[in-house]
Structure 1
Amino acid sequence: MFGKFFTKLKKGLTKTRDVFTGVVDLFRGRGRVDKAFLEELEKRLYLADVGGYAVGVIVERVRQGFLDKEVSDDVQTFVKQQLREMLTDASPGINYTMNGPTVVMIVGVNGSGKTTTIAKLANRLKSEGKKVVVAACDTFRAAAVEQLTVWCERIGCDIVKNAQGSDPASVAHDACEKAKARGFDVLIVDTAGRLHTQAHLMRELEKIHKVVTRQIPGAPHDTLMVLDATTGQNAVTQAEMFSKSVKCTGIVLTKLDGSAKGGAIFAIKQKVGLPVKYVGVGEGIEDLDVFNPDEYVEALFQK
């Protein structure tokens, strides 16, 4: 029924699933869907970090559909379906262009797993037969460029970089030129981890955006925001912050294996309205997969 990544996803969501056990157990208690049941469902969904808006929607729909009816498997199936619908989007994976290199910009605060995510994404795209080059535009952090270089060497991927402190936009320019000249399918552009209070970094991001747009028509074709699942509801705040400053097209949710806060994915999706395109469930180079809402919800509800 599910793909080979499901087993890894299920294992990675162990801590989150432990929290969701409270929700699952509620449906096994039977009884009737009354005020007390709805209040308990609301409380347990909150404890699972699902977030206020999403919880409100689900509880109200359960009330409308099942009030005074017996608690049955139908109620659980209905809740699972509501959760799936909240995560479903018509835009999984990368938005590839038919003409020239596809440019994917990666944004996120330092510590979110951004650099590792770039390596995992490059490796995944390579395994799909794509010719990939990475632009190391986080020139303010020598460690970021060094880490990215090591990853690219390990997976056999080209990288364009420059000296620490150099102009990030110039690295993006050189990477675009190389991508076009040598027929690369995908250019992944790293950017400096930033907060909205760091105006100089926001300006650098805008410069990078202008350069790639000028060099390659329609670029960037995707701008992915990397969010750390272990931060739970704080990831929602980050997502809102970035979406105000940068026109993002999707989310990569990382470190799900280290968190009991995977339920925050529902709040992020409802608040920001961006598709979750990839999820990371481990530190290995292959621990990144295209997000599948059916697998995600099923993994939460399995014992």
Structure 2
Amino acid sequence: MGIFGFGRKKKQQQADQAIETGQSQAPVAAEAAVDEAAPPAAVSDAPATSVSDPAPEARKKGLLARLAERLGKTREKISGSIDKIAIGRKIDDEVLDELEEVLVTADLGVKTTAELIGGLRGKVRRKELADAEALKGALRAGIEEIFGRTAAPPAMTAKPHVIMVVGVNGVGKTTTIGKLASHLSAQGKKVMLGAADTFRAAAAEQLEIWAQRVGCPIVRQKEGADPSAVAYDTVEAAVGRGVDVAIIDTAGRLHTKVNLMDELRKIHRVIGKKMDGAPHEVILVLDATTGQNALNQAKMFNEAVQLTGLILTKLDGTAKGGVAVAIAGELKLPICYVGVGEHLDDLRPFDAREFAEAIFG
């Protein structure tokens, strides 16, 4: 029997039973494409385990200093290259031509680079750029302005606030979800995870390990279960338990595979059937080391499920961090968080001024 056939009293009894037994008794969504016969997802409440930090001395560094250190390769690519081509030279169109090549190879993208260089050429004509430091300052201001045009991430006003996380294989999506859950839990929010990646072997187990580390419940089914059903059950359980945030993992998929993108649309619809307005956020996790391919991924995922924001991972290991500017410039999507390391607190809320300062000093 579909969810729409139950009365309010029956729903409350099921929610109470789910809390007491640790089982999500929510029926699967009433969309025809969802498997109505799927067993209910289990809700696990494993206690939190201690998180060891192999490098506690690194935690003592100032936040900005740590970020600058992790963005060292991108800083050398952009700021270091400006020093090499501009120090001791008159800032003119020839210097800007060389800078244009630097920015494109740093993955700021042709369109965004053209906009930035166009602004700098105007300053050259007005004789506002006397030296390399002035050039870097103007470029930094231009980059901050581009980030300033992006939309703000949705406010967490709904309860539960439902976040659907998407991305291609290998970007560190599940690990990022664990770090995000830790970050939100540290803010005092009650978080629940949903293991809707039922395709990859041991994906649910990996997410459950993170749930144990963070100390939050997780909704999961057996491998191969309908991911839309798990997503639905997660929202049902989150509503019943009164959690603040429900984060739903989805299977990694190539953005060029139409059938897999259609599955994401289905998960999105099913979540909305359970809770009006949900998912409130659809966040794409991108690997910064892929450069311009990350921008292409963002475009195609955005067409499929209308993204609300991005998380950019692996910024600590690449000189391609400029892709963050390209994405902001072309898609106007906010970068919500950046990953700059392996520790729990190395997933950082994105701040445009802090990012630019870490690159330019």
Distance verdict in 2 for CA 1:89–1:136, change over 3 Å = farther
Taking the TM superposition and a 5 Å limit, the aligned residue runs for 1:44-83 are 44-67=102-125, 69=127, 71-72=130-131, 73-83=133-143
Structure 2 equivalent of residue 16 of structure 1: 74
Offset of 1:5 from its aligned partner?
A: 3.0
Distance verdict in 2 for CA 1:33–1:15, change over 3 Å = closer
SS of structure 2 residue aligned to 1:180: helix
Worse overlay, 140-149 or 43-52 = 43-52
Equivalent position to 2:349, from 254, 267, 290: 290
Aligned partners of 1:24 and 1:301 also within 8 Å: no
Aligned partners of 1:33 and 1:63 also within 8 Å: no
Equivalent position to 2:207, from 148, 155, 158: 148
In the alignment, structure 1 residue 266 sits paired with structure 2 residue 325: yes
What's the CA shift string for 1:37-68, capped at 9, x where partnerless? 22122122223222111111111111112227
Q: Flag the structure with larger Rg.
A: 2
**Normalized against structure 2, the TM-score is what?**
0.78
In the alignment, structure 1 residue 85 sits paired with structure 2 residue 149: no
Give the whole-Å Cα distance in 2 for the aligned partners of 1:197 and 1:138: 18
In the alignment, structure 1 residue 227 sits paired with structure 2 residue 286: yes
Give the whole-Å Cα distance in 2 for the aligned partners of 1:96 and 1:282: 26
Aligned partners of 1:27 and 1:76 also within 8 Å: no
SS of structure 2 residue aligned to 1:136: strand
State the identity %.
45
Taking the TM superposition and a 5 Å limit, the aligned residue runs for 1:27-38 are 29-38=87-96
Distance verdict in 2 for CA 1:89–1:158, change over 3 Å = farther
What's the CA shift string for 1:63-84, capped at 9, x where partnerless? 1122273533433322110011
Aligned partners of 1:136 and 1:148 also within 8 Å: yes
In the alignment, structure 1 residue 214 sits paired with structure 2 residue 273: yes
SS of structure 1 residue aligned to 2:285: strand
Give the whole-Å Cα distance in 2 for the aligned partners of 1:67 and 1:37: 13
Aligned partners of 1:136 and 1:171 also within 8 Å: yes
Give the whole-Å Cα distance in 2 for the aligned partners of 1:7 and 1:213: 42
What's the CA shift string for 1:186-238, capped at 9, x where partnerless? 00011111124433322322221112111112111110010000111111111
Distance verdict in 2 for CA 1:185–1:91, change over 3 Å = farther
What's the CA shift string for 1:244-278, capped at 9, x where partnerless? 21210001000101111111111122222211111
Give the whole-Å Cα distance in 2 for the aligned partners of 1:92 and 1:14: 27
SS of structure 2 residue aligned to 1:130: coil
SS of structure 1 residue aligned to 2:276: coil
Write the letter of the residue equivalent to 1:6: L
Matched residues, number = 299
Q: What is the root-mean-square deviation of aligned Cα atoms in Å?
A: 1.9
**Normalized against structure 1, the TM-score is what?**
0.92
SS of structure 2 residue aligned to 1:142: coil
Equivalent position to 2:218, from 156, 159, 163: 159
SS of structure 2 residue aligned to 1:278: strand
Offset of 1:93 from its aligned partner?
A: 5.3
Structure 1 equivalent of residue 300 of structure 2: 241
In the alignment, structure 1 residue 134 sits paired with structure 2 residue 193: yes
